[in-house]
Structure 1
Amino acid sequence: MQTAIDHEQLVNAIGDAIVISDATGHITLWNPAAERMFGFTRDEALGDTLDLIIPERLRGRHWDGYHKTMDTGQTRYGNDVLRVPAVHKDGRSLSIAFTVALLTAPDGRVTGIVAVIRDETARFQEERALRKRVAELEAQS
């Protein structure tokens, strides 16, 4: 049995942030989970670049890779989960994990990238505290 899927409803209901950017890096889709995660409303994010959430110190590297992906039509990340820092609207740092997929036109040309993003800040902080505690215990031995 084939059931029609309301893709807009899916994107809006899902708990992970979904962000789509075009070939120039401008945001074209920003779901409610992205609003909650990063603090920017849909209206604030749409049309802006991904610099909105990329820490300033990482922007150069990000854009080098982004433009290379747009030019070659290939990403070296495939289905890998990427873990990187991000920035919330209020300036605080976030630790995010995400996957990316390339969006293409019928002629095969890459038109953008979709990222499905999860906030792992709490998990990252817990792991850091555990590593610190292990180091302290090993130093006592």
Structure 2
Amino acid sequence: MQAAIDYEQLVSAIGDAIIISGPDGAITLWNPAAEYIFGYTQEEALGQSLDLIIPERLRGRHWEGYDKTMATGQTRYGHDLLRVPAINKKGDALSIAFTVALLHGDDGKITGIVAVIRNETARFQEERALKKRITELEGRVGATAG
């Protein structure tokens, strides 16, 4: 026998940000993890555009893909992890990884997109530092071998 799942509690308790936006890109759900990662309270985020967390230089590309997804009902990021830059309330750069899923109404029309987002800023910075160190060491080996 399966117990009923309290989805509201699940969305609030989970450690990854869960953000839902409507067909127009306005935020309709913002869980506590989204607040923690991005710095905006639920009250500040609800009803706002996703531009709240998208760096200005990436907004054109984002909205092109978003509008295409709304028009076609298809996204390639349902199973593929997308890694992109984001910004928080302070304007600090973040590295995030996320998947998305389309939400549909009873009539089959798309009602929104849900994104499950993880902050990977620390991992990204560690990876970048390691790559830099490898390049430096390869340079030393190449200089001594030559």
TM-score bracket, normalised by the shorter chain, equals over 0.9
1:70–1:111: 8 Å Cα contact kept in structure 2? no
Aligned length: 141
1:20-53: CA deviation from partner (whole Å, max 9, x where unpaired): 0000000000000000000000000000010000
SS of corresponding position for 2:107:
coil
1:78-132: CA deviation from partner (whole Å, max 9, x where unpaired): 3111000000100100000001000011222111100000000000000000000
SS of corresponding position for 1:80:
coil
- Distance in 2 (alpha carbons) for counterparts of 1:30 and 1:129: 32
What is the aligned partner in structure 1 of residue 16 from structure 2? 16
Structure 1 gaps, min length 5? none
Structure with greater Cα Rg: 2
SS of corresponding position for 1:70:
helix
1:37–1:88: 8 Å Cα contact kept in structure 2? yes
What is the aligned partner in structure 2 of residue 102 from structure 1? 102
Amino acid at match of 1:88: N
Structure 2 gaps, min length 5? 142-146
Shift of 1:2: 1.8
What is the aligned partner in structure 2 of residue 130 from structure 1? 130
What is the aligned partner in structure 1 of residue 93 from structure 2? 93
Amino acid at match of 1:139: G
- Distance in 2 (alpha carbons) for counterparts of 1:17 and 1:31: 6
1:58 matched to 2:58? The reply is yes
What is the aligned partner in structure 1 of residue 118 from structure 2? 118
- Distance in 2 (alpha carbons) for counterparts of 1:100 and 1:77: 6
- Distance in 1 (alpha carbons) for counterparts of 2:43 and 2:62: 23
- Distance in 1 (alpha carbons) for counterparts of 2:65 and 2:111: 15
1:38–1:53: 8 Å Cα contact kept in structure 2? yes
- Distance in 2 (alpha carbons) for counterparts of 1:78 and 1:86: 19
